[in-house]
Amino acid sequence: MRVLLSAYACEPGSGSEPGLGWGLATAVAAYCEVTVITRANNRPAIEAALESHDGPAPRFAYYDLPAAVLAAKRTLLRARGYHYVWQLGARRLARELHADSPVNVAHHVTFVSMAAPSACAGLGVPFVWGPVGGGERVPPGMRGCLSPRARAYEAARSAAFVAATADPVVRATARAARVAYGTTPDSAAALRRMGAPRVEVLQGIGSDAVDDTPAPAGPAAEGTYLVTVGRLLGWKGVELAVRAFARSGLESRGVHLVVIGDGPERARLVRAAREASVPDAVEFAGAQPRMRTLAAIAGATALVHPSLHDSGGMVCLEAMARGVPVIALDAGGPGVLLREGGGVLVPPTGCEEAVDGIARAMAGVVSDPDAAVRMGQAGARVFASRYEWGAVARAWMARYEALLADRPTGAGGLPRA
């Protein structure tokens, strides 16, 4: 089988979308012939990684727009606008690759966004779109938790999403998909409204199995601590974590909350910790290198991730891989990832209710270490069976084969037993 992947973001050794593009491409290449269309600026890192890559490797085809358009990325287009135009431009390369060496399946991987077309659409072979996200919204009961800045951002984001999903070019991509995967039920519903003929809910993220290589010490290497990781943006919900930590009473037991990340909400969060009388127990560690962040997650009693509308939740997966329990809102990607175990899902019914629920979960994992260990072990089992790259690749191969054979499928697009 030959598979063509569109992976605009694709970089070894990275997290988030670049790590997804690289991880999926190299994992699937163990089972079939894979060609990846990606950006030219990813080439140095990819070629360096391929020198030490074990096993079959994908073939990479690099594409970027003319220099004048690339310059506009920094001013007019920005990253998302450039990505939209890049996908249109890369269609010619996709057609050339298919003509030179015909593929059986074309699959769009990154960006994980339904707000842009895909270079892989319209090749005359089964086209898989996604998983893609963007349809997630702040739960109605949680909108009052946001700062004025964050509320303005959410209003602009919602308007941009409505415009993007009404775009005839994007809607044509949805209609062209033999199957479209939404990262969450909200995104799946948006795909159906856009005209995708067949839609499934699927979290498409994955990660490597954790090895035994010692990691550098994290920003909080000693003592008992909880950790939250992410950009300090309103919708990430970090203020809920700070307020819940104060309400949990764990400061009096010498427990700390470590906040890894930076962003425009930092000053508000520092003020929230001070007003809640826990300024010395909340450590704002700033942005950290990936390995230090992973080390901090591995050493934590729990990861606290009260994001209001993550499409995915890669940091939750990193915690699950390490047997660290996750405390999250039952919303967006984390609500899908943790459905089978690995943490505590707090209903996002209101700000105070969410703070209370997170506080109880924080106190619970600290007060009952054995239960926390069992919870973490459950998450590790879910990770190994569903989200370790080998398992992800095998599941994709089953989906591709069912698609080509036109066999009925069940949950997640997998063939029915």
**119 and 22, same structural domain?**
yes
Q: Which helix (H) or strand (E) holds 4?
A: strand 2-7
pLDDT higher than threshold 60 for residue 244 = yes
Amino acid (one-letter) located at 109: V
Q: What is the mean pLDDT of residues 256-279?
A: 94
H-type alpha helices, 279-368: 290-299, 314-321, 332-337, 351-367
CATH of the domain at 197: 3.40.50.2000
**274 and 161, same structural domain?**
no
**133 and 80, same structural domain?**
yes
Q: Is 255 helix (H, G, I), strand (E, B) or coil?
A: coil
Q: What is the mean pLDDT of residues 74-83?
A: 75
Residue 374 is encoded by which pair of tokens?
Answer: 């069992």
Q: Considering the domain boundaries, does residue 211 fall inside one?
A: no
**399 and 382, same structural domain?**
no
Q: Considering the domain boundaries, does residue 35 fall inside one?
A: yes
Confidence of residue 417 (pLDDT cuts 50, 70, 90): very low
Q: What is the mean pLDDT of residues 293-315?
A: 93
Q: Residue holding tokens 């030490």?
A: 52
Q: In the prediction, which pLDDT does 313 show?
A: 87
pLDDT higher at 291 or 177: 177
pLDDT higher at 218 or 48: 48
Amino acid (one-letter) located at 7: A
Quick one: angle between helices 369-382 and 351-367, nearest 10?
Answer: 110
Q: Considering the domain boundaries, does residue 39 fall inside one?
A: yes
Q: Considering the domain boundaries, does residue 287 fall inside one?
A: yes
**9 and 106, same structural domain?**
yes
pLDDT higher than threshold 80 for residue 74 = no
Q: Is 267 helix (H, G, I), strand (E, B) or coil?
A: helix
> 383, exposed or middle or buried, with CB in 10 Å at 0-12, 13-18, 19+?
buried
pLDDT higher than threshold 80 for residue 219 = no
**167 and 266, same structural domain?**
no
Residue 78 sits in which domain range? Answer: 2-206+389-413
Return the minimum-mean-pLDDT range out of 87-91, 262-266, 383-387, 404-408: 404-408
**287 and 268, same structural domain?**
yes
Q: Considering the domain boundaries, does residue 218 fall inside one?
A: no
Strand order of the β-sheet with 33-39 is 59-63, 33-39, 2-7, 105-110, 127-132, 179-182, 199-201
pLDDT higher than threshold 80 for residue 134 = yes
**249 and 279, same structural domain?**
yes
pTM of the model: 0.88
Confidence of residue 415 (pLDDT cuts 50, 70, 90): low
Q: Considering the domain boundaries, does residue 217 fall inside one?
A: no
Our separate counts of H helices and E strands in the chain read 15, 13
Q: Residue holding tokens 């920094």?
A: 74
**147 and 7, same structural domain?**
yes
**174 and 247, same structural domain?**
no
* Interval 94-119: pLDDT, tens: 999 999 999 999 999 999 999 999 99
Q: Residue holding tokens 């939209």?
A: 84
Q: In the prediction, which pLDDT does 76 show?
A: 62
User: Cis peptide before 131, with omega less than 30 degrees from 0?
Assistant: yes
**381 and 393, same structural domain?**
no
Q: In the prediction, which pLDDT does 55 show?
A: 87
Dmax (CA) of the chain: 67
Q: In the prediction, which pLDDT does 311 show?
A: 85
Q: Considering the domain boundaries, does residue 37 fall inside one?
A: yes
**250 and 119, same structural domain?**
no
Q: What is the mean pLDDT of residues 387-397?
A: 95
Q: How many domains does the chain have?
A: 2
Residue 271 is encoded by which pair of tokens?
Answer: 């003020």
CA proximity to 120, closest of 176, 166, 190, 40: 176
Q: What is the mean pLDDT of residues 67-71?
A: 74
pLDDT higher than threshold 70 for residue 212 = no
Beta-strand (E) ranges in 250-321? 256-260, 282-286, 302-305
Q: Considering the domain boundaries, does residue 92 fall inside one?
A: yes
Q: What is the mean pLDDT of residues 303-313?
A: 92
Confidence of residue 351 (pLDDT cuts 50, 70, 90): very high
